[in-house]
Amino acid sequence: MKAKRREVPISAGWLSVPVIRMTAALIFILLSVGLFFSSCRQGRSGHNLVVAGSTSVQPFADKWAEVFMEERPDMIVDVQGGGSSAGIQAVKTGAAHIGMSSRELKEDEMDLFQIEVARDGLAIIVHPDNPLDSLSIEQVKSIFVGEIITWETLNGRKKPITVVVREEGSGTRGAFQELVMGKSRITKKAIVQDSNGTVREIVSRDPEAIGFISLGLVNDRVKALALNGVAPSEEAILKKEYKLVRPFLFVTKEAPTGLAKEFIDFVLSPEIQELVHKEGLIPVKQEPGSSE
């Protein structure tokens, strides 16, 4: 008696091996075709520029890119965040054409090409209802290291201080560490945030909070404190009276060429440097001794 071959039905939850292989092959072919046409389109246009890094530089670079793309509608400038260290690493690995850094380059990063596109003050911010208007840099350091933990000796309020900081690896934190903290470590009790915008938001909602952000991002929801009696301003920065100042850098693997150079030259043009000024940053072309 001849044995009957058992047929296994194909249902939504069960596929035979041949069908699985055919499906996988079809998906592979479709993906290959898609990638082929995508690469062809990119090869024909070649007008995509990836700019990545500092979240301090990012909101300004977004605006510069918008203006640039209005004049060059055939070009796409993709501005991404991630932090200064991430942007520098993206340039090293080729994942980005231009990296954005809001701190000086470290020794092991000096093989990269850097272009300063603006300068920025670092503002120490508190809630607008905080009666305090000024601190010394030493007092700021004592707060962020965790030695001063209440406002009592500073503004008379017997309230614990909420310390808000950026994450390690960010240019903002790197600049603060270098300019204020030195070799001292920031208290582990600090609230850590991944952007200047979130630091500003937390401080704006907490009357007992203190943080640091880009001076160009200060608005009426927070108060920027004077340091050693000097209020943060463009004039004070240009006169070198306000000490918390950092560079905004564009970083490339080598001397920029092609589209990267075109965008960097655009950002350094009088048109964008005037926009830099209006946005609360210090244009590099206006600094004493700078060349036109």
Domain ranges across the chain: 47-119+247-286, 121-238
The string of pLDDT tens digits covering residues 217-255 is 899 999 999 999 999 988 898 888 999 999 999 999 999
Task: Report angle CA 52, 54, 60 to the nearest 5 degrees.
Answer: 85
Euclidean distance between CA atoms 23 and 8, whole angstroms: 18
pLDDT in the model for residue 149? 97
Residues 80, 96 contacting (CB under 8 angstroms)? yes
Tokens of 76: 């796409």
The pLDDT of residue 288: 41
The rounded mean pLDDT for the chain is 85
Measured in degrees and rounded to the nearest 5, phi and psi for residue 69 equal -70, -25
CATH code 3.30.365.10 for 121-238: no
Examine domains 47-119+247-286 and 121-238 and report if their fold is the same. Answer: yes
Q: Say if residue 98 is exposed, middle or buried (CB neighbours under 10 Å; 0-12, 13-18, 19+).
A: buried
pLDDT at 287 over 80: no
User: What phi, psi does 261 have (nearest 5°)?
Assistant: -65, -40
Q: Please tell me which residue, 147 or 21, carries the higher pLDDT value.
A: 147
Task: Confirm if 161 and 151 have CB atoms less than 8 A apart.
Answer: yes
Spell out the residues 6+ positions from residue 183 whose beta carbon is closer than 8 angstroms to its own. none
Give the pLDDT of residue 22: 54
Distance CA 249, CA 118 (A): 7
Place of tokens 């690493």: 89
Q: Does the structure show a pLDDT above 70 at 145?
A: yes
**Cβ neighbours of residue 32 under 8 Å, at least 6 residues apart?**
none
**Residue 5 confidence (pLDDT):** 47
Q: What is the pLDDT of residues 79-115, one digit of tens each?
A: 999 889 999 999 999 999 999 999 899 999 999 999 9
CA distance 100 to 56: 9
Joined together, the tokens standing for residue 154 give 């500073």
Cα distances from 113 to residues 50, 139, 252, 256, in angstroms, run: 16, 37, 5, 8
pLDDT category at 55 given cuts 50, 70, 90 is: confident
The CATH number of 47-119+247-286, from 3.40.190.10, 3.40.50.970, 3.40.50.720, 1.20.140.10, is 3.40.190.10
Q: What is the pLDDT of residue 39?
A: 36
Backbone angles phi, psi at 251, to 5 degrees: -125, 135
Bridge partner residues of 118 (DSSP): 248, 283
- pLDDT beyond 90 at 45: no
